[in-house]
Amino acid sequence: MGPTSAVSIWAVGFQMVSPDRLGPYTGPSWSDLPIDILLSILQYLEVPQRVTFASVCRTWHNAAVAYGIPCSSVPWFMSWADLIDKKNVQGARTTCSFYHLLDVNKAYDVSFPRGCFVACCGASHGWLVLVNELSNLVLYNPFTMTMINLPPVTDFACVEAVYNKGSLEHYIFGNGRVHETNFLGTWFYQKAVLSCSPSKGVDSVVMIIHRDWLSFVKAGQSKWQVASTLPVRGSDRYTDCVYHDGRFYSVTLHGMVEEWNLDEPNGPTRKSRAPWTYSY
Amino acid sequence: MAAPESGDGNNGAARMVTLISSDNTRFEVEAAAASLSQTLQLTILDGGGGGGDGIPLPNVDSATLSKVLEYCIKHAPAAANGGAPNATAVDRAELERFDNEFVNIDQSVLYSLIMAAHNLEIEGLQSLVAKKVADMIKGKSPMEIRRTLGFPDPTPEEQAEMNAHMLEYGWAYE
């Protein structure tokens, strides 16, 4: 079965990935070249060669990173169209096709752990925000294969889990409608965005749009915090959210733009912004 | 040292300086050639390296230094003309031929050369060797690069890191 201890893992915080643990080398050799020299070599290399360069050893890796190589988060396309056809195959490993901007004709198969990928509702900083088969959100880095569970869907007041003999049977949403555990998440979440990579040891925040709600969770917290709700029967709803320069921004169908400050001690605050409303 | 000759010393009265390698070999060379090294240039402008003194270079052995000076002597006239704007096409082609031939050497010599060029701040030489190394790298996998440049075999930990990085950027290796 899929991940079960979501809360505890999230509460521990982000401490996993350490991609930059570079070890010592013995003897003076090419691996000990001063960074100035490595940079002077790098200037004669094109991007794919620089990436190869970065794999040679730690010193070279650091130099290539300093010089500039595309990080895994930037130029990949992920296609999960095939996934929709295979959705009914229970327990199968999920494989998606990745394409790189520099060579879009070539597809790279990337496999995901069993049960973690029913839908995808966001990608930021190299991490995918996936919906797993329990309709919970997980952060997954397909390159380091690191998974971080976010607080479960039952954390939202409108979702209730129904157990039968100790095992999760289904969810009840809102007005009492029953939903299969692996299905609720396919429509429940619209969009998720991360403030920064959770592997960097800094406070990362995930903001999600789910139905008419806007919620977020900070690294180390075990619960979703609701930032805003729109009237359930109203005609407006959240359509998109982004993170830019220390702030989250959301936009609704009717064009209401809000800037969010999540660092206030008394909970999130917002500033309305409507750039296309002219005032005279 | 008031007003030394204009630097290129091309009338037979060229000022000479002595450089001493780490293994105590003395090299006498025109000041103009040695001055391709930014590091040496300062000492030479201060009047160093003349007479019996010599400038010790504890980081450069004699084999490397002779190679470095071969480059400097060849490039000094062009450098004295400020990157050779007046040079003929024939001169430039000859210099290019020399450069290509010059770096057509074993990787261990290239290593010593680029380190020496870095320490002595000889920009042209460092670029020349850097470009050669870049050309040697092109089209090779990380393991092939390691073999070409005589890296030791990777430790299991390094191998794991290389694998992880290659997986991350799989497109670069096919």
Note whether A273 contacts B: Cβ–Cβ < 8 A.
no
Is there a domain that residue B85 lies in?
yes
Mutation pick from B108, B155, B167 vs chain A, by most beta carbons of A within 10 Å, is B167
Q: Tell me, what amino acid is at A87? A: K
A220 pLDDT band, cuts 50/70/90, is: confident
Burial environment of residue B64 by CB neighbours within 10 A (0 to 12, 13 to 18, 19 or more): buried
Is residue A202 scored above 90 in pLDDT? no
Q: Which amino acid is at A183?
A: F
What pLDDT, on a 0 to 100 scale, did the predictor assign at position A75? 62
**What pLDDT does residue B6 have?**
44
Question: Quick one: closest CA in B to A35, which residue?
Answer: B118
C-alpha–C-alpha distance, residues A256 and A235, integer Å: 13
Give the CA distances from residue B87 to residues A73, A177, B84, B127, in Å, rounded to whole numbers and listed in that order.
49, 86, 5, 20
Q: Which residue of B has its CA nearest to A101?
A: B171
- B157 is in which domain, residue-wise? 141-174
Please check whether residues B79 and B116 belong to one and the same domain: yes
Question: Mutate which of B64, B137, B173 to test chain A, going by most A C-beta atoms within 10 A?
Answer: B137
In this structure, of A22-26, A34-38, A89-93, B151-155, the range with the lowest mean pLDDT score is: A22-26
Residue B45 located in a structural domain: yes
Buried b (16+ CB within 10 A) or exposed e, B90-125: eeeeebeeebeebbeeeeeebbbbbbbbbbbebebb
Same domain, B134 and B80: yes
**Residues B129, B50: one domain?**
yes
Looking at residue A141, its pLDDT comes to: 79
Rounded to the nearest 5°, which phi and psi values hold at A141? -100, 110
CA dist., res. A43 & res. B109, Å (int): 21
pLDDT tens series, chain B, 174 aa: 444 444 444 445 678 999 999 999 999 999 999 999 999 998 888 877 776 788 999 999 999 999 999 999 999 988 776 655 566 778 888 999 999 999 999 999 999 999 999 999 999 999 999 999 999 998 788 888 999 998 988 888 888 788 777 766 654 443
What pLDDT is stored for residue A2 in this prediction? 36
Q: What is the pLDDT of residue A121?
A: 93
Q: Would you place residue A48 in the very low, low, confident or very high pLDDT band (cuts 50, 70, 90)?
A: low
For residues B99 and B26, state if they share a domain: yes
Question: What is the pLDDT, as a whole number, of residue A139?
Answer: 93
Q: Is pLDDT at A100 greater than 80 in this prediction?
A: no
Is there a contact between A48 and B172 if contact means CB atoms under 8 Å apart? Answer: yes
Is B112 within a domain? Answer: yes
Preferred mutation among A55, A61, A76 to probe B, highest tally of B CBs within 10 A: A55
Mean pLDDT, chain A, rounded, equals: 78
A67 touches chain B (CB under 8 A): no
Number of separate domains in chain B: 2
Give the pLDDT confidence score for residue B100 in this predicted structure: 95
Structural domain contains residue B56: yes
At A71 the pLDDT is 55
User: Are residues B132 and B173 both part of a single domain?
Assistant: no
User: Are B77 and B161 within one domain?
Assistant: no
State residue B86's pLDDT score.
62
Residue A30 has pLDDT above 70, yes or no: yes
Instruction: Identify whether B10 is part of a domain.
Output: no
For residue A248, the model assigns a pLDDT of 94
Whether pLDDT at A7 is above 60: no
The pTM for the full model equals 0.50
Judgement on whether residues B109 and B52 belong to the same structural domain of the protein:
yes
Domain membership of residue B129 (yes or no) is yes
Do B68 and B124 fall within a single domain?
A: yes
Q: Whole-angstrom Cα distance, residue B134 to residue A63?
A: 14
Q: Mean per-residue pLDDT for A185-189?
A: 90
CATH fold label, A30-67: Monooxygenase (1.20.1280)
Instruction: Confirm or reject contact between A102 and chain B (CB < 8 A).
Output: yes
Looking at the fold, whether B100 and B128 belong to one and the same domain comes out as: yes
* Cα–Cα distance, B126 to B124 (Å, whole number): 6
ipTM confidence = 0.86
Give the range with max mean pLDDT: A117-126, A262-271, B29-38.
Answer: B29-38
Three-state SS sequence of chain B: CCCCCCCCCCCCCCCEEEEECCCCCEEEEEHHHHCCCHHHHHHHHCCCCCCCCCEECCCCCHHHHHHHHHHHHHHHHHHHCCCCCCCCHHHHHHHHHHHHHHCCCCHHHHHHHHHHHHHHCCHHHHHHHHHHHHHHHCCCCHHHHHHHCCCCCCCHHHHHHHHHHHHHCHHHHC
Total Cβ atoms within 10 A of residue B43: 15
Regarding whether B126 and B90 lie in a shared domain, the answer is yes
* B67 within domain boundaries: yes
- Domain holding B59: CATH number? 3.30.710.10
Q: Please give the residue that has the higher pLDDT: either B81 or A245.
A: A245
pLDDT at A108 (0 to 100)? 65
**pLDDT interval class at A103 (50, 70, 90):** low
Contacts of A105 in chain B (CB under 8 A): none
The predicted structure's pLDDT at residue B60:
94
Kindly tell me if the per-residue pLDDT of A258 is higher than 50.
Answer: yes
Domain ranges of chain A: 30-67, 72-273
Same domain, B93 and B156: no
DSSP classification of residue A154 = G
- Output the pLDDT for position B1: 43
pLDDT of residue A217: 93
Label residue A275 by pLDDT band (50, 70, 90): low
Closest by CA to B110, choosing from A182, A29, A257, is: A29
The pLDDT of A2-15, averaged and rounded, is 30
Nearest-neighbour CA in chain B from A257: distance (Å): 36
pLDDT at site B125: 96
Q: Check residues A62 and B159 and name the one with the higher pLDDT.
A: A62
Which is higher by pLDDT, B144 or A4? B144
pLDDT(A267) > 50: yes
Contact state of A44 with B169 under an 8 Å Cβ cutoff: no
CA–CA distances in Å: residue B104 to residues A81, B9, B133? 52, 30, 11
Q: Pairing relation of β-strands B55-56 and B16-20?
A: parallel
In this structure, the answer to whether residues B43 and B129 fall within a common structural domain is yes
Given a contact cutoff of 8 angstroms between Cβ atoms, the answer to whether A57 and A31 are in contact is yes
- Residue with the two structure tokens 């008419």: A212
Question: Residue range A81-94: average pLDDT?
Answer: 60
Structural domain includes residue B2: no
Cβ atoms of residues A204 and A14 within 8 Å: yes
